[in-house]
Amino acid sequence: MAEIEYVRPVNLKDALNFLWNHGEDTKIIAGGTDVMIDVRSGALDKKYLLDISRMDELKGIELNDQGLCVGAGVTLSEIYSSDLLESNALALKKTAYNFAGKQIRNMATIGGNVANSSPCGDTLPALSVHRAKALVADKKSTRLVPVEEMATHAYISSLSPKQIIIKFILTPYQDGFADFQKIGRRRELAVSRISMAVFAKKDKEGRIAFLKFALGACTPVPHNMELMEKFLTGKTPTRELIWEAGGLLAQKMIEITGRRSSTIYKEPAIQGLFMRMLYPVVK
């Protein structure tokens, strides 16, 4: 295995300078829960490991004029225990309850989860529900990228080797129903096969007044399903209606992925999971 040089710049400016000159030869490491697998197996073909885990510029969760800002270096444990997320992005907080085990949550960052571009990345559906944008920077410029555009294909990120995700800017939603659900091969420490997140609010008459929904894991990149929003908004959420919506969702998944061997279980599983998630809003 070739030697990999470990570099830990003290601040974001130094890190972006380093990447500007050596980005092609460098792998960024944050919590390392994905990267270290490749380091240990010898699959990482890079000269430098750039550690961004202690940079203040990537830390913190705050509500300000821009929206609800979550630093790319925020860990899943910090998300798990954030009061600000409890009241403004409950689906994201619930994601952390279902994410790996405590040791991994203590290390794993939200930035690493998104940059890794795995279709199974659990933070993606909730970020998509909150119409999150990633603030991405290189030495010379910054840009805001919708989270659904952070991966071009499964495991292929749209980031250039010179770029770092600094933070995510979410639209905060309060006082409604929010949830995250996933299905894996086992109950604990499972890679998601299907994941979904929702935020919904009802009006005084009990109709759905506002709904945001996103699907993850079973499609190559996450999707915010405006189809669901259009279908359910303005309607009274009966059991039959939610079941019908779940069926539409399963059809949409098949439209995106085509019929595969896994469709035989995923089609009913999506409909069932959607029903389970939305059941609390049934009138």
Among 22, 27, 193, 202, binds ligand FAD (CB under 6 A): 27
Helix/strand/coil (H, E, C) string of 157-193? ECCCCCCEEEEEEECCCCCCEEEEEEECCCCCCCCCC
- Which 3 state secondary structure label does DSSP give 258? coil
The closest residue (CB) to ligand FAD is: 112
Q: List Cβ neighbours of 107 (8 Å cut-off, separation of 6 or more).
A: 31, 32, 33, 75
DSSP state of 48: E
- Cα distance between residue 232 and residue 120, in whole Å: 26
Q: How many Cβ atoms from other residues are within 10 Å of residue 138's Cβ?
A: 17
Decide if residue 154 touches ligand FAD (CB under 6 A).
no
Decide if residue 119 touches ligand FAD (CB under 6 A).
no
Given the complex with ligand FAD, which of 106 and 171 has the nearer CB atom? Answer: 106
Rg of the chain on CA atoms, in Å: 19
Sites for ligand FAD among residues 39-98 (CB under 6 A): 52, 72
Given the complex with ligand FAD, which of 224 and 281 has the nearer CB atom? Answer: 224
- Cβ proximity of 87 and 169 under 8 Å: no
Among 33, 128, 181, 271, binds ligand FAD (CB under 6 A): 33
Given the complex with ligand FAD, which of 73 and 246 has the nearer CB atom? Answer: 73
In terms of Cβ atoms closer than 10 Å to its own Cβ (0-12, 13-18, 19+), residue 102 is exposed
Residue pointed to by tokens 């294909």? 153
| In the complex, minimum distance from the CB of residue 15 to ligand FAD, in angstroms, rounded to a whole number | 9
| In the complex, minimum distance from the CB of residue 261 to ligand FAD, in angstroms, rounded to a whole number | 23
Among 23, 67, 112, 119, binds ligand FAD (CB under 6 A): 112
Given the complex with ligand FAD, which of 125 and 237 has the nearer CB atom? Answer: 125
Decide if residue 159 touches ligand FAD (CB under 6 A).
yes
- Applying CB under 6 A, which part among 86-94, 100-108, 218-226, 259-267 lies near ligand FAD? 100-108
Decide if residue 275 touches ligand FAD (CB under 6 A).
no
Given the complex with ligand FAD, which of 175 and 188 has the nearer CB atom? Answer: 188
Decide if residue 29 touches ligand FAD (CB under 6 A).
yes
Shortest CA distance to 89 belongs to which of 10, 3, 1, 168? 168
| In the complex, minimum distance from the CB of residue 272 to ligand FAD, in angstroms, rounded to a whole number | 21
Among 9, 12, 18, 32, binds ligand FAD (CB under 6 A): 32
- Cβ proximity of 180 and 196 under 8 Å: yes
- The total number of residues shown for the chain amounts to 283
- Cα distance between residue 47 and residue 34, in whole Å: 18
- Cα distance between residue 27 and residue 14, in whole Å: 15
Given the complex with ligand FAD, which of 51 and 229 has the nearer CB atom? Answer: 51
Decide if residue 4 touches ligand FAD (CB under 6 A).
no
Decide if residue 14 touches ligand FAD (CB under 6 A).
no
Shortest CA distance to 133 belongs to which of 193, 66, 188? 66
Binding site for ligand FAD (CB under 6 A): 27-35, 52, 72, 99-100, 104, 107-109, 111-113, 115-116, 120-122, 159, 164-165, 189
